[in-house]
Amino acid sequence: MTDQHPHPHPHPHPASSPASPGSWAAPSSAADGPGPIVHEFTATGPIDATIQNLRGDVVLRAEHGTAVRVELRPRGEAGRELVERMGVRFEADRLFVDAPSESAQLFGGSMADLLRGLGDESGGTSWSDRLATGLRSARRGVEGLAGALDVTVLVPRGSRVVLHDGAGDVRVHGVLDQVEARTGAGDLSVERGGEASTRLTTGTGDITIGPATGSLSATTGTGDVVLERSAGRTSITTGVGDVRVRSAHSGHLSVRSGLGDITLHVAPGTATHLDLATGLGDRDVRLTPTDGASEAERTLEVEARAGKGDLRVLRAEPTPQTP
């Protein structure tokens, strides 16, 4: 048995009562008053965390140490009712923050319909028709979700995290091993991609990603995608929106936009193989020689498709060297 236990919250605002290891922690009646409901635990190291919210923003921070903290902040009467139905459990270095099961299943089904609509080409329907069908299904799943509950979670650095949100923004800070984040309607912002993998999906909203070294998949129905740096296997898909990669270093980069421009900046010293196609739009490739790169230096494969939009492949500015 590992020594994992919750600690009482030291601050004066309402907090949950301490729970025994592995138990479902129910918030106290203080949820009727102002302030967040707080659950605190101690881990032995990096953890696996699954956070599921219905409607509201989710913020996750990964920091040094072994502290695990979940803060539930309701908005209005509907949010106060929802917070009492949320489950918070921590056991064997696994954290679960669960929305009510019946509503979560509805949301999960709508997101599955959206993803199938974007990826299934077997029926002969156009990209725009599949996108419209998927978005209609996703909206049905998000509409009517009761309550607004903001969730803030602190986990140890290097943890593996799955975040599902019905409608709301998701923000992730710090170093994690794996990140999976989905929201039906809202923006996704990841300060740094997971060391091993990152998977991001939103029905409607922008996606912003910092440096990513592991595998990365980012999908939005309507919204822009901005990636700071790629160096692994990367896939970006947007139905309606622009895509910008500020510095592609190596690996395989696949980008697809139904309606929107694609702009890719290739890092100096990277040899690049390009496969570009646009149905309606211009192609602009301005790659210069790699300034002495040998065959053994970094290579990048780029596959980019735009239904309607311009494709631009440019050489990124050299990164200043830190003294």
What pLDDT, on the 0 to 100 scale, is given for residue 82?
83
pLDDT tens-place string over residues 14-27: 444 344 344 344 44
Give the DSSP per-residue string, 154-189: EEETT-EEEEEEEES-EEEES--SEEEEEEEES-EE
Long-range contacts from 33-38, C-beta under 8 angstroms, 24+ separation = 35/73, 36/71, 36/72, 36/73, 36/152, 37/71, 37/72, 37/73, 37/74, 37/83, 38/9, 38/11, 38/13, 38/14, 38/69, 38/70, 38/71, 38/72
pLDDT tens-place string over residues 122-168: 555 565 565 655 555 555 545 445 568 999 999 999 999 999 998 99
- In this prediction the pTM is 0.79
What pLDDT, on the 0 to 100 scale, is given for residue 93?
97
pLDDT at 60 over 50: yes
DSSP category for residue 196: S
What pLDDT, on the 0 to 100 scale, is given for residue 118?
53
pLDDT tens-place string over residues 90-99: 999 999 999 8
Mean pLDDT of the chain: 81
Confidence of residue 78 (pLDDT cuts 50, 70, 90): confident
Instruction: Name the more confident of 66 and 10.
Output: 66
What pLDDT, on the 0 to 100 scale, is given for residue 207?
98
pLDDT tens-place string over residues 25-39: 444 434 344 478 999
